[in-house]
Structure 1
Amino acid sequence: MSNKDKKNNKLFSDFEPISTKKWIEKIETDLKGADFEKKLVWNSPEGINIRPFYRAEDLEKLNHLDLFPNQYPFVRGQKKNGNPWLVRQDIFVENISKANKKALDILMKGVDSLGFVFSDKYQAKVEDIEKLMENIFADSVEVNFMVGPGASHEVISLYENLVKKYNRDPKTIFGSVDFDPFSALLFNGKFCQTEEYAFEHAGQIIQAASFLPNIKILSVNGLKLRNSGANIVEELAFCLSIGTEYISRLSDLGFSIDDIAPRIKFSFGVGSNYFMEIAKLRAARWLWAKLVNSFGPKNTDVAKMHIHSSNTLFNKTIYDAHSNMLRTTTETLSALLGGTDSFTVAPYNSSFEWPNEFSERIARNQQLLLKEEAFIDKIADPAAGSYYVEQLTHDLIEKAWELFLKIEEKDGFIAAVKEGFIQETIEKSAQERRDFAASRKEIYLGTNQYPNFTERIEHTINPYSLKPFKEETKGAIVKPLQQFRVTQDFENLRYTTDMYAKNHKRPKAFMLTIGNLNMRKARAQFACNFFAVAGFDVQDNNGFLTIKEGIAAAEKAQAEIIVLCSSDEEYAQLAKELMEEKPANSIAVIAGYPKAILENLKAIGIKNFVHVKSNLLVELGQYQKELGMI
């Protein structure tokens, strides 16, 4: 072949293309007859079938692939160049002076967006907010106020005073006041006052802030929905529906879509489903842009979705808490790649204690590292073109739109809440996630799988961190939702053991390993992890020649639980010897579930088995009860 021919040839042109059918045939051969769909296709909690591979042909039906960043409907983001975002840190305001001092400090450490969170009981006044903003230049840093609906006007008055006092251009001031009547309805079970007043008040704030075009007024809080157990499709659909409700209600009060849409800010929760979270933000922008455009705005730019994101607390843990840093890092990256406008990293310990200087510094630096060292801010929509992400984006758009239409058929979001549809949908998803955790279909490292055997909590922790967060619901007119962490049930188990062990001997599970080497090692490792989830001491062993020898060692170790670890074929004889030799007050357990001899084992008194289909919460709770711990 001449040099000219070589230049004209495409790379790998000597290799014929392989069809999808041939790839699947090859995979089925490698699976040795196992069902391809059951073995390799994952059905996500959102009802999306995730295939093991995607190809260019999968994208042929997608119509957004030729779009550029900052081009309607903004699936590829709203920035022409690069992927800039604001590094936000929230400050809980209990003392005005201390909050101001902290804000000035973190602004020197890489933060360019502040969030001031006021307690529901704190009635912020203009003079308080002025002191809070002392030496903070509102035209050089984004400032977000979570002050409750009653104080929103106070914030607008503050900005009006600042503009006049310092002769600032109002167009250079960015931020939000987060007026959110929907969270009150969902989590308190009622509006703060009346439904009509909520939207009249929203309209009044928008009018008062007319001189501040870049201040967001209306909040759509998807983070709270995710922390209540909603899956990604539900978060998208419900947020879309809340946004539509704002448009509908305020339109009735005389506001145009061009007045309303630019005032809405969406806050999304980001979980550990890495690629789906990337696709979620892309899908969200597409859906919102299409919806806003259907109202006939004068300028399609008002269809841009303003997105703030933060880590969910739903999957964060008290035990092995430093693993939360790993979780928040991957979650943060997925939101940044998805094109969020700002992000708050939840400190690793925020689910169980007040964040400290160390945890807040790590949280800030996670974003700064991704920006300054990994250069994630340099490329617009880096996920574009990925067969997998593009297909996920499309699937989420379809699924979320389908659920959104169901809500519209019920006459909108508020009507669906009053009917109980929203709550029932989220509660069903939440229970499914609990069940997945209990059966270890979903893994939470250090909590329901691979726990740190030596970790102990010896001090009393805040009891509220171990149960769902319930807001004030007096006078509720609808069933309120509760935020919770899916790991709380496991943490309650383990914390019960830790507190019991302060005044009693900690229960011990002893691995009586015998017979087949490979099986006894594998089952001992499984059983050790199983019992350590509840905080029991576990003792693995190299192996014993006889049951009698193993029982003697178990008695010496003062073990309350003796776990027989061997092969199914050997259990018939070994289990019989175990029941004859073991101390009467000890609990005998079989590692595995040998169906062929199950009835025989039960007949000789074996009633406890640990295996991959065990429900950890139910069975470990039963062991605690049998040992007199609860």
Structure 2
Amino acid sequence: MTDTKPAAPGALPADFDGTYDAWYKAVAGVFARVQKKDVADVPLDIWKKLIKTTYDGIDVRPLYTRRDELAEASVPGKFPYLRGTRSADSEAAGWGVAETFGSTGDVKAANALLLGALTNGATDIIIDLENGLKASDLQALLEGVYLDLAPIRLKAGADVAEAAQALYDLVDAAGAADKSVIELQAAPLTAGFDDSATVSLDEAIALAKAAKDRAGSVRAITVDAVSLSNQGATDAEEVGFALAAAVEYLRKLTDAGLSVKEAAHQLSFRYAATDDQFAQIAKFRVARALWARVCEVVGDTEDAVAPQHAVTAPVMFSQRDPWVNMLRSTVAAFAAGVGGASDVEVLPFDAAVKGGLPGTSRGFAHRIARNTNLLLLEESHLGHVIDPAGGSYFVEALTDELADKAWAVFTDVEAKGGFIAATEDGTIQSILDKSYEAQRNDIAHRVKKVTGINEFPNLSEKPLPADLRVEPAGVRRWAAEFEALRNRSDAFLEAKGTRPQAGLIPLGPLAKHNVRTGFATNLLASGGIEALNPGQVVPGTPEFDEAAKAADIAVICGTDAEYAESGEEAVKALRAAGVKHVLLAGAPKSFEGAANAPDDYLNLKIDAAATLADLLTTLGA
């Protein structure tokens, strides 16, 4: 890790290289069987084909061993807090269970939900005053809450000053100021990236100056990296930009008269946790350690620990098949908790749907989200082990490399003059746009899988009502492009009574065409197109002619050998039957030089989103 790379590990066992060579040969043997080659013809470095490169340019290898070992990092609870901020605290094991209340705008319902949540495992309260509730509603919303026991964070947008004063008044009236833990969550430097409502930088500084003199723990400013994640930031960019924003806040706060210690205490961090498990574990470890290094540089290692809030990443939530979001959130919450986050907010599984999934109560959605955290903590006992991923060759190596990448992002922003300068000249937005496009392109090509969206879609699920087929503001969701295609399909269904359809033309017996008919069906469904499969058909037969008449688009499915034998005949027969658009499941090379070739091909290399959009247009959707 940057400036913290430990000394080399001890000597490797005498037989280590021989064992490694045996692994090389075993991998080569697997490739030989798959490629139907003699193992002598497969190079021993074929294993490199298994390397996956992250969006930050980190190569993830298939095997990590003692050769990758790093000397043990500092113990948990000690600077630079790579392994966590606590050392041995079994009474408060694990992370906080955070939950947001007030999003529906009904103060009475929000209070009931809040009290029920606190009774059933929630520990950290987030108050939403951006969706109808106001600062004047805080007293009713917090009725029955012990303000000296539950940490409270505000989500008040441009009204944070008014909300802060109302909360202060309640805490003071309850005699709970000395033990209160409050965060105002002003985020002026990052809010503009996803159009989040907030106060100006000057107002945030004023709030911090007032907060430093209050009893208890009050932090005015949140470095909200979720706003950056929402726009496509990679893990290194999310951490690096967050560090740059935090340093900018430190400068402004100290310029306003706060000491470095006072300024550092006014900051907290908020990060998005995706379902990329090991990367997220590494990210939270890296973010903590690098902030500690920044604090060391500015001369305040005593306050090198700042709250590190985690929220299940809005970018990964789908509107279609939203139940899958429960699985994504479970992995994300696991990773954030294991990575050492102070608390984790699991968003309701239908958070991407405006107002929630029709027919699903808010109580149920919140309970499932909260219980995801509680299952990990209370049943899986994850909180009883500090830094359980520590010592893993892979996690430690990934942490080390990610730290270097994030530090490079941070220093590049500093070289531009700091976060504000890099924002104003468009540098940060340009980087976010580039990263977003890389991810969008991989999803469009189905290289990056999004279950239920571009892979294994459920075309038979009940469509969302038309007024709910809207994109959440400020979030570049992974599923958005394919869900836009599904929206077109739903509108077609409502107007025509059927889905847009394509007819499959399976050549050869089931055992030979099944792989490609399955592939084509899955691909078409991800764009909202229903595949009609008549079973094996032979050109020149009534069954073939019947299948050809089923839809304006036909997809020929079979093996390459079958294409060589009857593919041209099938294409010719389909055109004679009046099929407007003939596709083939396979590669263009299977029809190379053919007089009668398909119009296009469906395979793993195509831009599936663009192809499906064109097919929907052809079908009138």
Shared fold per TM-score greater than 0.5: yes
Give me the whole-angstrom Cα distance separating, in 1, the residues matched to 2:579 and 2:509. Answer: 28
Alignment of 1:417-496 (within 5 A): 417-457=423-463, 459-465=465-471, 469=473, 482-496=474-488
Aligned residues: 587
Q: Which residue of 1 aligns with 2:84?
A: 77
Distance 2:46 2:275 in 1: 26
Structure 1 equivalent of residue 5 of structure 2: none
Aligned counterpart, 1:113: 124
| In structure 2, C-alpha distance between the alignment counterparts of 1:565 and 1:585, rounded to whole Å | 16
- The 3-state SS of whatever aligns with 2:438 is helix
CA distance in 2, matches of 1:161, 1:502: 52
C-alpha separation between the residues in 2 aligned to 1:154 and 1:318? 32
Matching residue's letter, 2:171: L
With structure 1 as the length reference, what TM-score do the two structures score?
Answer: 0.87
In the alignment, the residues of structure 1 paired with residue 196 and residue 349 of structure 2 have an alpha-carbon distance, to the nearest angstrom, of 30
Please say if residues 115 and 143 of structure 1, whose CA atoms lie closer than 8 Å, have aligned partners that are also in contact: yes
Residue identity in the other structure for 1:576: E
Q: Secondary structure at the match of 2:528?
A: coil
**Residue 285 (1) aligns with residue 278 (2):** no
Which deviations, in whole Å up to 9, do the C-alpha atoms of 1:121-162 show, x marking residues without a partner? 86x44x433333222111111111112354335424632553
**Match of residue 317 from structure 2:** 316
1:237-270, Cα deviation, whole Å (9 max, x unpaired): 0101111101111111221111011221111001
State the distance in 1 between where 2:250 and 2:114 align.
34
Question: Residues 446-501 of structure 1, C-alpha deviation per residue, up to 9 Å, x if partnerless?
Answer: 11011124224163242433xx62xxxxxxxxxxxx42212111011112112102
Q: 2:174 aligns with which of 166, 171, 176?
A: 166
The 5 Å alignment of 1:561-572 reads: 561-572=553-564
Partner residue, 2:516 = 523
TM-score (normalised: structure 2):
0.89
The alignment status of 1:220 with 2:223, answered yes or no, reads yes
- Percent identity, please: 27
Following superposition, the deviation at residue 288 of structure 1 comes to 0.3
In 1, Cα distance between equivalents of 2:470 and 2:447: 27
1:335-350 matches, within 5 Å, as 335-350=336-351
CA distance in 2, matches of 1:503, 1:207: 59
| Alpha carbons of structure 1 residues 515 and 154: separation in structure 2 relative to 1, 3 Å | closer
Q: Which runs of 4+ in 1 moved over 6 A?
A: 13-17
Distance 1:219 1:189 in 2: 13
Tell me, in whole angstroms, the C-alpha distance in 1 between the residues paired with 2:379 and 2:198. Answer: 45
- For residue 181 of structure 1, give the secondary structure of its aligned residue in structure 2: coil
Q: CA deviation at 1:402?
A: 0.8
In the TM superposition, 1:58-69 aligns within 5 A as 58-60=68-70, 65-69=72-76
Name which of 140, 151, 157 aligns with 2:149: 140
- 2-side partners of 1:276 and 1:519: how far apart? 39
Larger mean Cα displacement after TM superposition, 128-137 or 271-280: 128-137
Post-superposition Cα deviations, 1:82-132, rounded to whole Å, max 9, x if no partner, equal 54211111013524343333222221121111100111786x44x433333
1:206-231 deviation per Cα after TM superposition (whole angstroms, max 9, x unaligned)? 33442234222111111121111111
What secondary structure, in the 3-state scheme, does the structure 1 residue paired with 2:147 have? coil
Deviates more, 1:14-23 or 1:306-315: 14-23
Q: What pairs with 1:570-609 in structure 2 (closer than 5 Å)?
A: 570-582=562-574, 583-595=577-589, 597-600=591-594, 603-604=595-596, 606-609=598-601
SS at match of 2:461: coil
Paired residue secondary structure (2:403): helix
Partner residue of 1:44? 54
Residue 158 of structure 2 corresponds to residue 152 of structure 1: no
Q: Is the 8 A contact 1:548 1:581 kept in 2?
A: no
Asked if 1:371 is matched to 2:377, the reply is yes
- Give how far 1:39 is off: 1.2
CA distance in 2, matches of 1:487, 1:75: 33
Give 2:137's aligned amino acid.
D
Moved more, 131-140 or 308-317: 131-140
Equivalent of 2:618 in 608, 620, 626: 626
- Residues 16 and 423 of structure 1: is their aligned pair in 2 closer, same or farther, counting only changes over 3 Å? closer
Change (3 A) 1:570 1:158: closer
CA 1:371–1:249 in structure 2 vs 1: closer, same or farther (change >3 Å)?
same
401, 404, 410: which is aligned to 2:407?
Answer: 401
8 Å Cα contact 1:153-1:208 kept in structure 2: no
CA-based RMSD of the aligned residues comes to: 2.5
| Cα deviation, residue 414, structure 1 | 0.5
TM-aligned CA deviation for residue 235 of structure 1: 0.2
Decide whether the 8 Å contact of 2:501 with 2:531 is kept in 1.
yes
Q: Tell me, what secondary structure is at the counterpart of 2:516? A: helix
Amino acid at match of 1:162: V
Cα distance in structure 1, aligned partners of 2:467 and 2:126: 27
1:411 aligned partner? 417
Deviation at 1:522, TM superposition (A): 1.1
1:354 corresponding residue in structure 2: 355
SS of corresponding position for 1:590: strand
- Measured against aligned partners, the alpha-carbon deviations of 1:400-446 in whole angstroms (never above 9, x if no partner) come to 00111100000100100011010000011111111000101100111
Q: Note closer, same or farther for the CA distance 1:370–1:584 as it changes in structure 2 (3 Å cut).
A: same
**C-alpha contact (below 8 Å) 1:184/1:192 kept by paired residues:** no
CA 1:393/1:87 → structure 2, altered by over 3 Å: closer, same or farther? same
- Corresponding position of 1:472: none
Q: Is the 8 A contact 1:54 1:387 kept in 2?
A: yes
Cα distance in structure 1, aligned partners of 2:245 and 2:95: 25
The answer as to whether partners of 1:177 and 1:217 remain within 8 angstroms in 2 is yes
Q: 1:18 to 1:320 in 2, by over 3 A?
A: same
What SS class does the counterpart of residue 377 from structure 1 fall into?
Answer: helix
Q: Unaligned stretches of 5+ in structure 1?
A: 1-12, 470-481
1-structure distance, mates of 2:114, 2:319 = 28
Change (3 A) 1:201 1:520: closer
Distance of aligned partners of 1:210 and 1:588 in 2 relative to their CA distance in 1, 3 Å threshold: same
Separation in structure 2 between the aligned mates of residue 598 and residue 213 of structure 1, nearest angstrom: 75
Q: 1:545, CA displacement in angstroms?
A: 4.5
Match of 2:265 among 262, 266, 270: 262
Partner amino acid for 1:264?
L
1:156–1:70 distance in 2 versus 1, CA, 3 Å: farther
1:286 Cα deviation from its structure 2 partner? 0.6
